[in-house]
Chains A and B, each alone.
Chain A
């Protein structure tokens, strides 16, 4: 069998993929909504995500989880405060970017907005390198997570025959161990044994080795999934946010107006919709979702290093997810995000972890070749 292709780890990788994919989905929603309304790739969205992670980081410091701080057990309340901080900060950033960078250019050719978006993205990255802690990577303290444990789901238990054999060997192993301990008390030093001691030590080691081997054989066939409680919270929160978004977009007056603007910009303006306020609303929704994603990723994915450049990779992948699902299509963004996360983890699982970041663009090129409208998108992408 190929070294990397261990079927037993596949379920775990799929679950990891779904969890990561839920974050991509949150970011992709922002891309897809802005694209739907303005037909603009908001390149700065990845940087909004990055700023959200910083907002969460500073919020956690303010709550006493900074470097050197020793706040005790965290609580859901702290998490909610961090989530609110990063969502509201991101919403603010999104609105400011829209108002001062994109709105003045709305009557210019689209390429002008696109270049501005790239410029802003660069500005936030390199400006962040100066102003955000000198660009030194930081991570949120693991203590913030109030539920450090994990759930283990066993899909197939250990090999029973091997386990029973191991149980048979266990008393012998314990016995030899005890003999050795008893002998050691009579010896001068652990490293200078008498012949009797050496014989006992060898026996104890052999017994332990054969026991360990059997345990390994037994465990090699287990198939299980471990999920941290924090990640479960994350997933539930993502689902909740998506539910709220669906409600806002599908069942409120503003959401209806948003869909109208996305359908036909000028006609909806003629129908009396305040296009400017709807665009602001779209940016608030998209950016706060990115902020939520950033906070949850930085808190629950242990070891996530926040630096001014880390938004770029997530942003680009989420954009690919949005294209994969069909850009402008909200359920499509969620589907695309989940698929993207799974695809990435499958690449990892297949043993090409160095090429993990490349899969996004391979997917992008394949989608553009065969189904430019995306999986759920309409097929009326303008072809030339």
Chain B
């Protein structure tokens, strides 16, 4: 009874949260509403990629392809059937979401079956290529609007639906890890040979995770198509895949809450960077020098320092402060160099930030910020000093 109560309670809480976000977003202008929707979609995408990359330990780098399949499925369906069916927009959105999920799942099966039978990094290159193929097809097919894209007639932007999907994705991933199906995912991540020896059908598990992750991305794509009212192949370029990948890596591969939080943070920062004033190349060079020096020092300290933990933290903080100082000094010096004075817009730096995040993270903390840990109530209680509940950690 208690079990059921907790379940129903958390579902109610989740839906209440989605409703709350909807209520808050309603008061804002349409641009802010769109941002809230996009943030929710990125949470869905990051958590679903985390299911593939983090929880099952595979390496997909073409998640935007499945997002695109979902979006185009929704687009084509909306153009042919929306006017004839006279459904309530929200009901239509649910149907289209399911259709997008099915389309993306089929695509996931086609991609996953050949590449997941093998061990190694083949999946990475196949998914990369699949993204390209989907884009090329979309660019050349008359029914898919060629390079122009598709106008999608009813523009239905429902914050509630988007965040409900994000909530559903998180809930499905979380519950998977508590039952036997999800545990096989973890087993495959930890050791394929051992789990095969224990009777786990490794290929099946990997394909299942891949298809499930793709399906969620497809559902997100369907919502995206209706929220924007317009989709074109450029909306799903390789950059989008890399952004999602960075979110998962930053959050900690395998941590659901980590991915969700990283998705929100990494969505917010680049949006802010669009507002940055143009800056001269010299200050970018100075920043690069500062980052290199800081990372080198921190890496060395993290690897070799044998003093107390407190001193180590102090030195790391000190080197970060030092990095800022170096940036200031060099940008002053380089201001005198005439060839480095062209202005660069802040938006051009957006993907550089993602790339730098990836490299630095791998050098300093390859397991991601949250590593395998989850944000959970027992963890909060432990922080507050009530350590009576044993910590639930998903990694074996």
Contacts and interface: CB of A to CB of B under 8 A. Distances in A.
A122 interface: yes
Interface stretch (A87-95, A124-132, A194-202, A205-213): A124-132
B329 to A, nearest CB: 21
A104 B298 CA distance: 13
A116 B355 CA distance: 9
Contact of B125 (A120, A320, A354): A320
Interface string B163-195: 000000000000000000000000000001000
Given A105-B366, A130-B352, A384-B196, A41 B125 contact: yes
B118 A382 contact: yes
A368 B121 contact: no
Interface of B: 57, 59, 61, 111, 114-115, 117-122, 124-126, 128-130, 132-133, 136-137, 139-140, 192, 196, 202-203, 206, 238, 242, 245, 249, 253, 281, 284, 299, 342, 344, 348-349, 351-352, 354-359, 362-363, 366
B interface secondary structure, majority: helix
A126 B352 contact: yes
A24 B355 CA distance: 26
Given A105-B363, A122-B242, A130-B344, A354 B126 contact: no
B359 A368 contact: no
Contact of A368 (B61, B126, B342): B126
Contact of A323 (B125, B203, B249, B344): B125
Contacts of B121: 41, 110, 114
Given A130-B284, A372-B118, A115 B358 contact: yes
Interface string A357-373: 11011101100110010
A125 B348 CA distance: 11
29 contacts: A41-B125, A101-B363, A105-B362, A105-B366, A115-B358, A115-B366, A116-B362, A118-B242, A119-B357, A122-B242, A122-B358, A125-B355, A316-B125, A316-B128, A320-B125, A354-B136, A355-B136, A360-B129, A361-B126, A362-B133, A365-B111, A365-B115, A365-B129, A368-B114, A368-B115, A368-B117, A372-B117, A381-B118, A383-B119
Nearest to A122: B355
A293 B133 CA distance: 25
Interface in A102-116: 104-105, 108-116
Contacts, number: 136
Given A354-B139, A384-B119, A316 B362 contact: no
A131 B111 CA distance: 37
B133 A361 contact: yes
Interface in A330-384: 354-355, 357-358, 360-362, 364-365, 368-369, 372, 381-384
10 pairs of A and B residues whose beta carbons are closest in the complex: A119-B358, A361-B129, A122-B355, A123-B355, A119-B359, A112-B366, A382-B119, A116-B362, A369-B114, A126-B351
A357 B366 contact: no
Given A126-B355, A383-B117, 17 more contacts: A39-B120, A41-B121, A104-B299, A113-B362, A119-B357, A122-B352, A122-B354, A122-B355, A122-B358, A123-B359, A130-B349, A323-B125, A361-B129, A361-B133, A364-B129, A365-B115, A369-B114
A296 to B, nearest CB: 25
A383 B118 contact: yes
Contacts of B111: 365
Contacts of B140: 354-355
A175 interface: no
A316 B366 contact: no
Given A41-B121, A114-B59, A130-B284, A123 B348 contact: no
Given A119-B355, A123-B352, A320 B129 contact: yes
A115 B247 CA distance: 12
B331 to A, nearest CB: 15
A320 B132 CA distance: 14
Contacts of B356: 119, 123
Contacts of B192: 384
A93 to B, nearest CB: 15
Interface in A307-328: 312, 316, 319-320, 323
A109 B366 contact: yes
A384 B118 contact: yes
A134 interface: yes
Given A119-B355, A134-B342, A381-B118, A358 B61 contact: no
A361 B122 CA distance: 12
A320 B130 CA distance: 13
